[in-house]
Amino acid sequence: QVQLVQSGAEVKNPGSSVKVSCKASGGTFSTNAISWVRQAPGQGLEWMGGITGMFGTTNYAQKFQGRLTITADGFPSTVYMELSSLRSEDSAVYYCARSLGYSYVPSPNYHDYYMDAWGTGTTVTVSS
């Protein structure tokens, strides 16, 4: 059973960057797509972006365009989420979520897009 283990909590100054990792424990996810979802304190879930398996194609929510970079190391399988120009509103728990298949993009003939496993979560606090 693959588990997604994320890096530890971070405290960052406004204007700096943070890089959070998501690693498969008990297997690999070199062919699985990974999405990043965050949750500010007391708030709902927010899809930030993702990276597909195999080709490493990325998609970012418009809100994060220019500030968010998602990358992957194929072996060992680790996916990274880097968010720059941090502000206080970026304080949140950041989750990685694995798709069952190689992509999170659905189609009538492809249903393995869904997020079937979630990471342990990483708390990022942005404060001066």
Partner 1 sequence: QTVVTQEPSFSVSPGGTVTLTCGLSSGPVSTNSYPSWFQQTPGQAPRTLIYSTNTRSSGVPDRFSGSIVGNKAALTITGAQADDESDYYCVLYMGSGIWLFGGGTKLSVL
Q: Where along the sequence are the contacts to partner 1 (CB under 8 A)?
A: 35, 37, 44-47, 50, 57, 59, 61-62, 95, 97, 104-106, 111, 113-116, 118-121
- How many other CB atoms are found less than 10 A from the CB of residue 66? 9
Q: Shortest distance, CB of residue 80 to partner 1, whole angstroms?
A: 18
Q: How far is the CB of 51 from partner 1 (least distance, A)?
A: 10
CA angle 40, 64, 18 (to 5 degrees): 65
Cβ closest to partner 1, residue 15 vs residue 27? 27
CB of 26 to partner 1, least distance (A): 16
Of 73 and 116, which has the nearer Cβ to partner 1?
Answer: 116
Minimum distance of partner 1 from residue 104's CB (angstroms): 7
Name which of 79 and 97 has its Cβ closer to partner 1. Answer: 97
What's the rounded Cα separation, in Å, for the pair 42 and 23? 26
